[in-house]
Amino acid sequence: MRDLKPQGQRQKILSRRAIGELGTLEANLQALGTHRSEALRLFLASRTTTTALAQVEFWLEFSWIDQEYRVAVRRLAEFCAEHGGR
């Protein structure tokens, strides 16, 4: 049977603790992604239905959530880099 992995690359087996951490990071990213999508939809809808002041509030809410989402993406990427992910 042919080996499907490129030569020279070995896959690391994660410890239970690392698997738990990975699960937590993925769940957090998923939750923040859902919240971010909802905030973006509200902001886009507010552009035609609310006052300028309300639009600013919706934009600030989206910006804050987007920043949290980006931090979660960075943490997941760092985890993957530390544990041999490509």
Q: What are the pLDDT digits (tens) for 13-68?
A: 889 999 999 999 999 999 999 999 999 999 999 999 999 999 999 999 999 999 99
- pLDDT value for 84: 79
What is the rounded CA–CA span in Å between residue 80 and residue 14? 11
Domain of 63, in residue numbers: 19-82
Does residue 2 lie within any of the structural domains? no
Does residue 4 lie within any of the structural domains? no
Does residue 47 lie within any of the structural domains? yes
When divided into structural domains, the chain yields a total of: 1
What is the rounded CA–CA span in Å between residue 6 and residue 23? 26
Does residue 36 lie within any of the structural domains? yes
Per-residue CA distances from 73 to 54, 57, 66 (Å)? 29, 24, 10
Nearest C-alpha neighbor of 33 from the set 60, 73, 5, 61: 73
Does residue 40 lie within any of the structural domains? yes
- Taking residue 6's Cβ as centre, other Cβ atoms within 10 Å add up to 7
